[in-house]
A = this chain, B = another copy of it.
Amino acid sequence: MKVVALAGGVGGAKFADGLAHCLSPEELTIVVNTGDDFEHFGLHISPDLDTVCYTLAGIANPQSGWGRMDESWVTYTELKQMGAPDWFQLGDRDLATHLERTRRMEEGETLSQITAHFCQVWGVKHPILPMSDDPVRTWVLTEDGELPFQEYFVRYRFQPAVRDFHFRGVERAHPAPGLLAALSQADVILFCPSNPFVSIDPILAVDGVRQACLQKRVIAISPIVGGRAIKGPAAKMFMELGIPPSPLAVAQHYAGLITGLVLDDLDADYAMEIQQLGIGTLVTNTLMNIPAERYNLAHTILQAIEGGKL
């Protein structure tokens, strides 16, 4: 079975890691949101790509889910003492990634090439593709004005209420090499339990991606469990847009695109309503507090798909 998984940050990375334990590198391609990318201290930073790569490499910080394991903070501490902006944490090991990515970009390498190189260095066998090698920048229209994503997310800790999202540059962004081919060869496309608005939607907005999805079996894993997001602002965003956060809201958000939705045991009551939208459901434990749960969730979903139950 050939699978393409669309992923954002921590939740997406954990589920992608689960899939990587069940599928060979020939069977799985992971496509990562780059709308979060930004420039900071002159460096090109790709937070979601880093989180996915670090997680699959087994070098992610197991507590936070992002950044590096065994991280130190010498440079960051020094920067703070110099009065530099400290709203985005820069670990010493993580900095090496940003520095080397920036250097290679300045030498003309694409984000895809650099990501492939990093994966080779870190021993990641499964192909990880940025959604595009062209710059796409997510801006969040809030009640306090429009903010670049990282400022909204990290600097202002997603406190301003959202009104809308804008993926700047996406109209000119080409899908990364191999992305459309992977989608067209896929037996199933999975939307990881990532933020629909700012993780999955930017990927879908890249030329050809949404259309490719429309030809396929597409299954989303709800990032909303028990009315909350496991991590991040997904539930808060639904509320601010006037929609009660639930797997049903996720199903409606992706309506016309997904053929199935995986929801948590806690939300079993929503299954019927979701099915009435013509969307198949799988109710299971979707929490991934420990690595074994990632593998179990991926295994359960892949088995349901293979067994024709989703």
Contacts and interface: CB of A to CB of B under 8 A. Distances in A.
Contacts of A42: 42-44, 99, 102-103, 106
A95 B117 CA distance: 24
| A contact residues, range | 20 to 34
A292 interface: no
Contacts of A82: 96-97, 100, 118, 121
Number of copies: 2
Contacts of A100: 41, 79, 82, 84
Contact of A75 (B83, B93, B102): B93
A64 interface: no
B103 A41 contact: yes
Contacts of A103: 40-42, 84-85
Contacts of A78: 92-93, 95-97
Nearest to A105: B42
A150 to B, nearest CB: 14
Nearest to A74: B92
A276 interface: no
A89 interface: no
A72 interface: yes
Interface in A98-113: 99-100, 102-103, 106
A81 interface: yes
A96 B74 CA distance: 9
Interface in A214-233: none
Contact of A74 (B40, B74, B79, B81): B74
A90 B93 CA distance: 13
A75 B76 CA distance: 11
A83 B92 CA distance: 17
A41 B75 CA distance: 15
A253 B103 CA distance: 39
17 contacts: A41-B99, A41-B100, A41-B102, A41-B103, A42-B99, A72-B74, A74-B74, A74-B92, A74-B93, A76-B96, A78-B95, A79-B96, A79-B99, A79-B100, A82-B118, A83-B117, A92-B92
Which 5 residue pairs across A and B have the least CB separation, nearest first?
Answer: A78-B96, A74-B92, A42-B102, A41-B99, A84-B100
